[in-house]
C-alpha cells in the first residue's frame, strides 16, 4: 500500500461521519414541527368518531399495501390510495367499502351522503354539490356504477369503514410534494383512450349498467308476480345497488342471498326464526337492523326509507320472489 | 478438491434449505403472474396480497439462508479455524424453519384482517411491504440474525489486527444486517414515519450491508478461483465497501421523495443515489481483471458463470435501471408503477441470488468431494435464469411505461377497465418469461442435488484429445479492456435513453397526451439494455470458455515433445528475445514451448508480459540454481 492509498483510506471514515451527521440533521428537520411543511397526525384526524390511527391499524391488518400502493409503495396490483379521499370523498368511500366487490350506484352514494348529513359528518347539502366537489366520485358513478370491481368482497364493520376512511382522509392530507403529478391531458385524448380500453376490457357501454345486467341470471320467469313487475324490480335492484351485497345465484356476499329467499324460514341471530314473507322483506329493506339474519351483522345495510318509492319496493319484492 | 475444515460441511444443509425456499418463492411468483392475468382465480382462498407477502418474505429468507451457507463454507478458510460452536449453526437452521413455518401460518390472517394487536404492536402480521411478518417473527428473526453475526465474527482471527478487508467487509455486513433489523421492531403511528423506518431495513440491507457481504464474498471467491493477488482483492473490497456506504447512506433519500417528508430529500436522494452504481462498475471491472489472472484451468466453471451473472445483473439491474429512476424528475412518474419492480427483480435476484447459487455450486462440489463435473445442465439453467429474468424485466418495464401514461398522464385511475387492459400484453409476457425462469430453477435444483452423477473421472479428463486451433474466431478471442469498456458504455448508453424517456414525461406535449417520445425511448432503451447485456454476457463467457479450454490443453503433459528455446545459445538467432515472440507466433493456441537459460527467467517473463498482456501462461518448471526452465503456453 503506498502513501497516497493510505491517506485516501484514512479519509473514508471522517467523510462517512459527516454524511451521518447530514442524515441525522435532515431527519430531525423532517419530523419536527415547522410551519412550512405541515405534517398531519393520525391521532388527530377523525371520521365518524374513529381516528385515522385506528384506521392505520386496520389498513395494516388487512395488508392493503400488498395489493394497493400508498404513497406509491406497495404491490402495484390495485389503485394508489394516497389521495383517494380527496378524489371520491367520504360518501362514495362509505358506499364502496360497504361492499367492495362492486362499484357503488348513484343511489347508494346518495343514501350514504344523507346518513353523513344526519350524523353531522358533512356539510354538503346535496348530491349534486357532492359530486361537483369530488370529481372522482362523479366519474366512478358515471362509468362504473353497479359493475363488479376486482377487489375481494371484504366484510368490514361500520366502525372499521369509518376508521379506514379516517386513515384515507389522513393520507390525503399528507404533503407528498406534487406526487402523483396533476393530470393535464386534453379531455378528448382521455375520452378516446378510455373508450378504447373499455372496449378491450369487454365493457363497451359507457354507463356500465348493461354489462352488469348481463352478469345476473335470467331466472325471472316464475312466481306469481307479473313479468313486468319482476323486470322493473330487477332494474331497481340494480340501480339502488342491492345486488352489490345480495347475490341472486345463492353465493354468499356481504348480505344474505336472494335466491330461494321468498317464503323460506330465516334463522335470526337472536335465535328466533321468521318467515320471509312480504312484510318481512319490506321491513328488512326499510329498517334493516330490525331483524338480523344469523351469521350477519347489524349496521351494515343502510336504511332505504325515503330512498325507495312504494312501487319500487313492491317491484323489488316481486323480483326477489322470482328468484327460486 | 477436498474441504479443509469439517464444519464447512454444515453449509450443505443450509444450501439444501435455500433451494427449497427458493423453489417456494418462485412458485408463489408464478402464481402471482397467473393471478395478474385472472384476478378472480383464487379470490377469497388466497388473495393476491397474501401470495405476494409470501413471495417477498420467502425471497428474503432464501437469500439470507444462502448467505449463511456461503459464510459457513468460506468462513473457516478466512479465519483458518472451525465454526464454533457447531451446534449453534445447526440450531440456526432449525430456527430458520421454525420462523418460516410460523410466518407462513400467520401471513394468511390478512384475509380476515387479524394482526394480533396488543400493546399497540401487531404480533401476528403487520401488512407492511417486505416486513409483512408480525412482531413475534420479527423478534425471532432478530435472534437468528444475531446468531449469524456471532458465528461469522467468531470464525475470524481473535486479533482484529490480523483481519484483512474481506474480514471487515463481512463483519460490517453481517452485524449491519442484524442491527438494521432493529428498526422493524416498532409500530409507527404515522405513515411518513413508518415509511421512513421501513426503508432503513429495505434500503440499508440491499443497498448497504448486503452489498458489503456481496463484495466481500465475490472478492474472496475470485481470489480462491483465480489465485488473484490478495492485496489487490483487498483493495477492491475496501473501496467497494467504502463506495457502497458513501453513496448508499444518503442515497436512501430517494425513498423519501413523496412519502410526506420535505422536498429537500429530492436533492440529496437524486445526487447521492445517482452515484450508487460506482461500486458496481468497480465490481464487474474486478471480475474482468481477476478472471484473466488464473493460470490453471478452473475446476468449477459453473460457479464462475453465476458469479459473473451476479456482477453483470448487479450493474444492469441495480446500477443502470436504478439510475434511470433515481432522479426526482423521473421518479415522480415511475414511482408506484411496474417500472419499479423491473429494477427490483433484477437487482435483488441478480446480485444476491446469482451470488449464493454460485457459492452453492462450489460448496456442494467440495463437500461432496467432486472434482470436475459436466456443466451442461448448470449452463442451461444459468441461461434460462438469465433470459427469463431479462424477459421479466422487459415485461415489467414496458408495461410500467404504459401504466405511467394511462394512470398518471391521462388520469384513468380505475384498474379493471383502464390500467389493467392497457397492460395485458405485458402480463402475458411476464408469465411466459416467468415460466422460462421457473424451468431454469427446476434444472438448477436437480443439477445441484445430483451433482455427483456428473463427476468427470480424473483420468478420463486428462486424456481428452483436443485439437489446437491455429486461428480463433472473433467470439473466442480474449476481451481487451477497451472492448470491455465499450460494452459497459453500451449498457449505460441505453440506460441514459431510458432515463431521458422517463424525463420526457415532463414535456408539455407528453402531458397533454402524446406518448410517442416516452414510448419510443422505452422500447429502444429497454430492448437495448437487454440485448447489449445478453450479447456482452455471451461474449464474455465465450472468451472465458476458450481461455479455460486452452489452459487445460497446455496442462496436458507432452513428455518432451515440446519445442525448446535455449537462451544460452546466444550466437544463433535462437537465443534472442525476438525469437521467443517468433516461437509464440508460430505455435497454435493451446500449445507451449520451453525456455531454458542459465540465469533467472524473470526478465523474459516481464518482457513477454509487456508485449502480450494476459495472452500467455507462464509456468516455472525449474528454478535454478544452475538452470532455469519455464513453460510458455499460448492463450486467446
pLDDT per position as a tens digit, B516-563:
999 999 999 999 999 999 999 999 999 999 998 888 888 877 666 788
Grid cell at residue B85: 460452536
Nearest Cβ partner for B132 among A66, A80, A176:
A66
Check whether B246 has a pLDDT greater than 60. Answer: yes
Which of B53, B192, B197 should one mutate to test binding to chain A, selecting the residue with the greatest count of A CBs within 10 A?
Answer: B192
Alpha-carbon B634 to chain mean position: 31
> Looking at CA atoms only, how far is residue A161 from chain B in angstroms?
13
Cβ–Cβ gap B258/A179 under 8 Å: yes
How does the average pLDDT of chain A come out, rounded?
86
Alpha-carbon B492 to chain mean position: 18
CA atoms of A143 and A194, how far apart (whole Å) = 10
> Looking at CA atoms only, how far is residue A289 from chain B in angstroms?
24
**Least confidently predicted of A211-215, A303-307, B383-387:** A211-215
Chain B residues near residue A200 by CB distance under 8 angstroms:
421, 424
Chain B residues near residue A180 by CB distance under 8 angstroms:
332, 336, 408
Chain A residues near residue B333 by CB distance under 8 angstroms:
181
CA atoms of B317 and B339, how far apart (whole Å) = 12
CA atoms of A170 and A184, how far apart (whole Å) = 25
Check whether A218 has a pLDDT greater than 50. Answer: no
Check whether B84 has a pLDDT greater than 90. Answer: no
B101 compared with A219, residue with greater pLDDT: B101
| Closest residue in chain A to residue B44, using alpha carbons only | A152
Which of A71, A101, A140, A151 should one mutate to test binding to chain B, selecting the residue with the greatest count of B CBs within 10 A?
Answer: A71
Complex prediction ipTM: 0.91
CA atoms of B147 and A58, how far apart (whole Å) = 34
Chain B residues near residue A198 by CB distance under 8 angstroms:
417-418, 421
Grid cell at residue B94: 432449525
Mean pLDDT computed over B333-344? 96
pLDDT value at residue A227? 73
Residues A125-153: tens digit of each pLDDT: 899 999 999 999 999 998 888 888 889 98
- Whether residue B301 is preceded by a cis peptide bond, meaning omega within 30 degrees of 0, is no
Contact indicator for A94, A47 with CB cutoff of 8 Å: no
Q: Crossing angle for the helix pair A84-98 and A135-144, nearest 10 degrees?
A: 50
Cβ–Cβ gap B191/A42 under 8 Å: yes
CA atoms of B218 and B286, how far apart (whole Å) = 10
CA B294 to each of CA A20, A252, B228, B613: distance values in angstroms, whole numbers, following the listed order? 40, 68, 7, 13
Cβ–Cβ gap A78/B415 under 8 Å: yes
Mean pLDDT computed over A168-172? 96
Nearest Cβ partner for B128 among A65, A77, A200:
A65
Q: Which of residues 242-281 of A touch B (CB under 8 A)?
A: none
Chain A residues near residue B409 by CB distance under 8 angstroms:
183, 185
Check whether A205 has a pLDDT greater than 50. Answer: no
Chain B residues near residue A101 by CB distance under 8 angstroms:
none
Cβ–Cβ gap B48/A41 under 8 Å: no
Check whether A295 has a pLDDT greater than 80. Answer: yes
Which of B31, B54, B127 should one mutate to test binding to chain A, selecting the residue with the greatest count of A CBs within 10 A?
Answer: B127
Residues B311-320: tens digit of each pLDDT: 999 999 999 9
Q: Which of residues 125-164 of A touch B (CB under 8 A)?
A: 136, 140, 143-144, 147-150, 152-154, 156, 160
pLDDT value at residue B577? 65
CA atoms of A205 and A144, how far apart (whole Å) = 10
pLDDT value at residue A214? 41
Mean pLDDT computed over B130-143? 95
- CB-based contacts of B63, cutoff 8 Å, min separation 6: B210, B348, B352, B353, B356
pLDDT value at residue A220? 42
pLDDT value at residue A222? 44
Mean pLDDT computed over A291-303? 83
> Looking at CA atoms only, how far is residue B26 from chain A in angstroms?
17
Cβ–Cβ gap B52/A67 under 8 Å: yes
Contact indicator for A263, A317 with CB cutoff of 8 Å: no
CA atoms of B145 and B155, how far apart (whole Å) = 16
CA A128 to each of CA A125, A208, A231, B359, B501: distance values in angstroms, whole numbers, following the listed order? 9, 21, 29, 66, 41
Nearest Cβ partner for B338 among A30, A76, A201:
A76
Chain A residues near residue B235 by CB distance under 8 angstroms:
1, 5
Cβ–Cβ gap B245/A70 under 8 Å: no
> Looking at CA atoms only, how far is residue B628 from chain A in angstroms?
31
Residue B21 exposed, middle or buried by CB count within 10 Å (0-12, 13-18, 19+): buried
Contact indicator for B86, B124 with CB cutoff of 8 Å: no
Residues B247-292: tens digit of each pLDDT: 999 999 999 999 999 999 999 999 999 999 999 998 999 999 888 8
Cα separation of the two ends of chain A: 89
Residues B438-480: tens digit of each pLDDT: 999 999 999 999 999 998 876 556 656 667 777 888 898 999 9
Check whether A307 has a pLDDT greater than 50. Answer: yes
Degrees to nearest 5, angle at CA B242 with B315 and B490: 20
CA atoms of B133 and B124, how far apart (whole Å) = 7
Cβ–Cβ gap B189/A41 under 8 Å: yes
> Looking at CA atoms only, how far is residue A286 from chain B in angstroms?
30
pLDDT value at residue A221? 44
Chain B residues near residue A154 by CB distance under 8 angstroms:
113
**Least confidently predicted of A52-66, B1-15, B122-136, B474-488:** B1-15
CA atoms of B255 and B130, how far apart (whole Å) = 14
In which element (H, E) is residue B550 found?
helix B516-555
Cβ–Cβ gap B412/A186 under 8 Å: no
Burial track A285-305 (b if 16+ CB lie within 10 A, e otherwise): beebeeebbeebeeebbbbbe
Chain A residues near residue B342 by CB distance under 8 angstroms:
none
Cβ–Cβ gap A73/B115 under 8 Å: no
CA atoms of A100 and A84, how far apart (whole Å) = 14
Check whether A213 has a pLDDT greater than 50. Answer: no
CA atoms of B633 and B588, how far apart (whole Å) = 9
pLDDT value at residue A215? 41
Grid cell at residue A180: 402523483
Chain B residues near residue A153 by CB distance under 8 angstroms:
44
Chain B residues near residue A193 by CB distance under 8 angstroms:
406, 410, 412, 513
pLDDT value at residue B140? 95
CA atoms of A128 and B569, how far apart (whole Å) = 107
> Looking at CA atoms only, how far is residue B422 from chain A in angstroms?
7
Grid cell at residue B585: 507466433
Cβ–Cβ gap B412/A197 under 8 Å: yes
Domains in chain A, please, with CATH?
46-173 (1.10.760), 216-322 (1.10.760.10)
Q: What percent of chain B has pLDDT over 70?
A: 97
Q: Which of residues 53-92 of A touch B (CB under 8 A)?
A: 53, 56-67, 69-80, 87
Check whether B486 has a pLDDT greater than 70. Answer: yes
Mean pLDDT computed over B585-590? 85
Grid cell at residue B582: 517468433
> Looking at CA atoms only, how far is residue A203 from chain B in angstroms?
7
Residues A42-85: tens digit of each pLDDT: 999 999 899 999 999 999 999 999 999 999 999 999 999 999 99
pLDDT value at residue B462? 60
Eight-state DSSP code of residue B631: E
Q: What percent of chain A has pLDDT over 90?
A: 39
Q: What are phi and psi of A63, to 5 degrees?
A: 50, 50
Residues B391-433: tens digit of each pLDDT: 999 999 999 999 999 999 999 988 888 899 999 999 999 999 9
How does the average pLDDT of chain B come out, rounded?
91
Alpha-carbon A219 to chain mean position: 29
The CATH classification of domain B563-634, taken from the options 3.30.1490.20, 3.20.20.80, 3.30.110.40, 3.30.70.120: 3.30.110.40
Residues A3-49: tens digit of each pLDDT: 888 888 888 899 999 999 999 999 998 888 776 778 999 999 999 89
pLDDT value at residue A279? 86
Mean pLDDT computed over B7-34? 96
Chain B residues near residue A58 by CB distance under 8 angstroms:
113
pLDDT value at residue B158? 87
> Looking at CA atoms only, how far is residue A132 from chain B in angstroms?
17
B368 compared with A203, residue with greater pLDDT: B368
CA atoms of A279 and A299, how far apart (whole Å) = 20
Residue B524 exposed, middle or buried by CB count within 10 Å (0-12, 13-18, 19+): middle
Contact indicator for B133, B121 with CB cutoff of 8 Å: no
Can you say whether residue A168 is alpha, beta or left, with left for phi > 0 and alpha for psi between -120 and 50 degrees? alpha
Chain B residues near residue A19 by CB distance under 8 angstroms:
246, 249-250
Cβ–Cβ gap A39/B260 under 8 Å: yes
Q: Which of residues 6-45 of A touch B (CB under 8 A)?
A: 9, 12, 15-16, 19-20, 22-23, 26-27, 29-31, 36-37, 39-43
Cβ–Cβ gap A75/B129 under 8 Å: yes
pLDDT value at residue B568? 79
Amino acid at each position: 500500500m503506498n502513501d497516497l492509498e493510505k491517506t485516501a483510506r484514512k479519509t473514508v471514515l471522517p467523510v462517512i461521519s459527516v454524511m451521518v451527521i447530514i442524515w441525522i440533521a435532515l431527519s430531525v428537520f423532517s419530523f419536527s414541527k415547522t410551519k412550512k411543511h405541515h405534517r398531519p397526525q393520525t391521532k388527530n384526524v377523525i371520521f365518524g368518531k374513529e381516528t385515522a390511527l385506528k384506521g392505520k391499524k386496520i389498513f395494516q391488518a388487512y395488508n392493503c399495501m400488498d395489493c394497493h400502493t400508498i404513497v406509491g409503495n406497495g404491490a402495484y396490483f390495485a389503485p394508489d390510495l394516497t389521495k383517494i379521499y380527496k378524489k371520491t370523498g367520504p360518501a362514495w368511500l362509505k358506499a364502496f367499502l360497504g361492499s367492495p366487490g362492486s362499484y357503488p350506484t348513484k343511489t347508494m352514494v346518495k343514501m350514504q351522503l344523507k346518513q353523513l348529513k344526519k350524523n353531522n359528518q358533512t356539510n354538503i347539502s346535496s348530491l349534486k354539490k357532492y359530486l361537483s366537489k369530488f370529481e372522482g366520485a362523479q366519474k366512478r358513478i358515471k362509468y362504473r356504477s353497479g359493475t363488479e370491481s376486482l377487489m375481494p368482497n371484504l366484510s368490514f364493520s361500520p366502525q372499521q369503514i369509518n376508521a379506514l376512511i379516517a386513515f384515507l382522509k389522513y393520507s390525503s392530507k399528507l404533503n407528498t410534494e406534487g406526487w402523483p403529478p396533476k393530470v393535464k391531458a386534453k379531455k378528448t385524448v382521455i375520452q378516446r383512450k378510455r373508450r378504447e380500453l373499455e372496449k378491450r376490457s369487454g365493457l363497451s357501454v359507457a354507463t356500465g349498467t348493461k354489462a352488469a345486467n348481463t352478469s345476473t341470471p335470467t331466472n325471472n320467469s316464475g312466481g306469481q308476480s307479473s313479468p313486468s313487475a319482476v323486470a322493473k324490480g330487477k332494474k331497481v335492484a340494480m340501480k339502488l345497488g342491492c345486488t352489490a351485497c345480495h347475490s341472486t345465484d345463492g353465493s354468499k356476499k356481504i348480505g344474505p342471498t336472494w335466491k330461494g329467499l321468498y317464503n323460506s324460514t330465516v334463522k335470526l341471530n337472536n335465535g328466533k326464526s321468521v318467515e320471509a314473507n312480504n312484510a318481512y322483506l319490506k321491513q328488512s329493506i326499510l329498517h334493516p337492523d330490525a331483524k338480523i339474519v344469523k351469521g350477519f351483522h347489524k349496521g351494515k345495510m343502510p336504511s332505504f326509507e325515503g330512498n325507495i318509492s312504494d312501487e319500487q319496493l313492491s317491484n323489488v319484492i316481486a323480483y326477489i320472489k322470482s328468484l327460486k | 478438491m477436498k474441504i479443509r475444515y469439517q464444519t464447512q460441511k454444515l453449509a450443505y444443509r443450509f444450501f439444501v434449505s435455500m433451494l427449497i425456499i427458493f423453489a417456494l418463492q418462485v412458485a408463489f411468483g408464478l402464481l402471482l403472474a397467473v393471478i395478474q392475468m385472472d384476478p378472480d382465480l383464487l379470490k377469497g382462498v388466497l388473495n393476491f396480497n397474501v401470495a405476494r407477502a409470501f413471495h417477498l418474505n420467502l425471497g428474503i429468507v432464501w437469500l439470507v439462508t444462502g448467505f449463511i451457507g456461503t459464510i459457513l463454507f468460506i468462513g473457516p478458510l478466512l479465519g483458518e479455524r472451525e465454526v464454533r460452536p457447531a451446534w449453534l449453526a445447526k440450531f440456526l437452521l432449525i430456527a430458520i424453519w421454525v420462523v418460516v413455518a410460523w410466518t407462513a401460518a400467520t401471513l394468511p390472517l390478512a384475509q380476515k384482517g387479524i394482526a394480533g394487536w396488543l400493546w399497540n404492536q401487531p404480533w401476528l402480521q403487520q401488512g407492511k411491504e417486505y416486513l409483512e411478518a408480525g412482531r413475534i417473527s420479527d423478534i425471532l428473526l432478530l435472534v437468528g440474525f444475531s446468531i449469524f453475526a456471532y458465528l461469522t465474527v467468531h470464525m475470524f482471527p481473535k486479533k482484529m489486527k490480523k483481519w484483512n478487508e474481506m474480514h471487515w467487509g463481512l463483519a460490517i455486513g453481517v452485524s449491519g444486517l442484524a442491527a438494521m433489523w432493529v428498526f422493524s421492531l416498532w409500530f409507527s403511528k404515522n405513515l411518513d414515519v413508518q415509511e421512513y423506518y421501513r426503508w432503513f431495513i429495505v434500503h440499508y440491507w440491499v443497498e448497504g450491508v448486503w452489498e458489503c457481504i456481496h463484495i466481500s464474498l465475490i472478492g474472496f471467491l475470485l481470489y480462491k478461483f483465480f489465485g488473484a493477488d490478495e492485496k489487490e482483492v483487498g483493495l477492491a473490497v475496501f473501496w467497494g465497501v467504502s463506495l457502497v456506504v458513501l453513496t448508499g447512506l444518503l442515497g436512501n433519500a430517494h425513498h423519501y421523495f413523496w412519502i410526506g417528508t420535505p422536498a429537500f430529500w429530492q436533492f440529496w436522494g437524486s445526487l447521492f443515489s445517482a452515484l450508487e452504481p460506482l461500486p458496481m462498475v468497480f465490481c464487474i471491472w474486478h471480475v474482468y481483471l481477476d478472471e484473466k489472472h488464473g493460470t490453471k484451468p478452473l475446476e468449477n466453471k459453473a460457479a464462475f458463470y453465476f458469479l459473473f451473472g451476479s456482477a453483470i445483473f448487479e450493474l444492469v439491474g441495480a446500477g443502470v435501471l436504478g439510475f434511470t429512476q433515481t432522479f426526482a424528475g423521473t421518479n415522480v412518474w415511475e414511482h408506484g408503477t411496474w417500472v419499479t419492480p423491473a429494477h427490483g427483480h433484477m437487482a435483488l435476484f441478480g446480485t444476491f441470488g446469482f451470488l449464493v447459487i454460485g457459492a452453492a455450486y462450489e460448496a456442494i462440489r467440495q463437500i461432496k468431494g467432486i472434482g470436475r463435473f459436466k456443466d451442461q445442465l448448470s449452463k442451461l439453467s444459468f441461461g434460462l435464469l438469465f433470459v427469463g429474468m431479462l424477459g421479466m424485466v422487459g415485461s415489467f418495464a414496458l408495461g410500467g411505461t404504459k401504466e405511467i401514461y394511462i394512470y398518471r398522464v391521462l388520469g384513468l385511475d380505475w384498474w379493471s377497465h383502464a390500467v389493467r387492459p392497457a397492460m395485458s400484453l405485458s402480463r402475458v409476457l411476464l408469465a411466459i418469461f416467468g415460466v422460462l425462469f421457473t424451468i431454469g430453477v427446476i434444472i438448477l435444483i436437480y443439477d445441484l442435488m445430483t451433482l455427483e452423477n456428473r463427476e468427470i473421472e480424473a483420468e478420463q479428463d486428462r486424456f481428452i484429445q483436443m485439437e489446437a486451433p491455429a486461428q480463433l474466431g472473433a467470439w473466442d478471442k480474449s476481451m481487451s479492456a477497451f472492448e470491455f469498456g465499450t460494452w459497459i458504455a453500451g449498457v449505460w448508453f441505453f440506460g441514459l435513453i431510458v432515463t431521458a424517456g422517463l424525463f420526457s414525461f415532463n414535456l408539455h406535449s407528453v402531458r397533454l397526451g402524446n406518448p410517442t417520445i416516452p414510448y419510443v425511448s422505452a422500447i429502444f432503451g429497454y430492448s437495448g439494455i437487454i440485448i447489449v447485456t445478453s450479447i456482452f454476457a455471451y461474449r464474455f463467457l465465450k472468451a472465458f470458455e476458450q481461455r479455460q479450454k486452452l489452459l487445460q490443453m497446455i496442462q496436458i503433459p507432452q513428455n518432451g515433445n515440446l519445442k525448446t528455446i535455449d537462451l544460452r545459445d546466444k550466437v544463433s538467432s535462437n537465443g534472442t528475445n525476438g525469437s521467443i515472440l517468433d516461437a509464440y507466433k508460430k505455435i497454435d493456441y493451446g500449445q507451449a514451448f520451453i525456455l531454458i537459460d542459465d540465469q533467472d527467467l524473470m526478465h523474459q517473463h516481464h518482457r513477454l508480459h509487456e508485449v502480450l498482456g494476459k495472452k500467455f501462461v507462464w509456468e516455472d518448471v525449474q528454478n535454478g540454481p544452475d538452470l532455469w526452465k519455464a513453460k510458455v503456453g499460448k492463450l486467446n
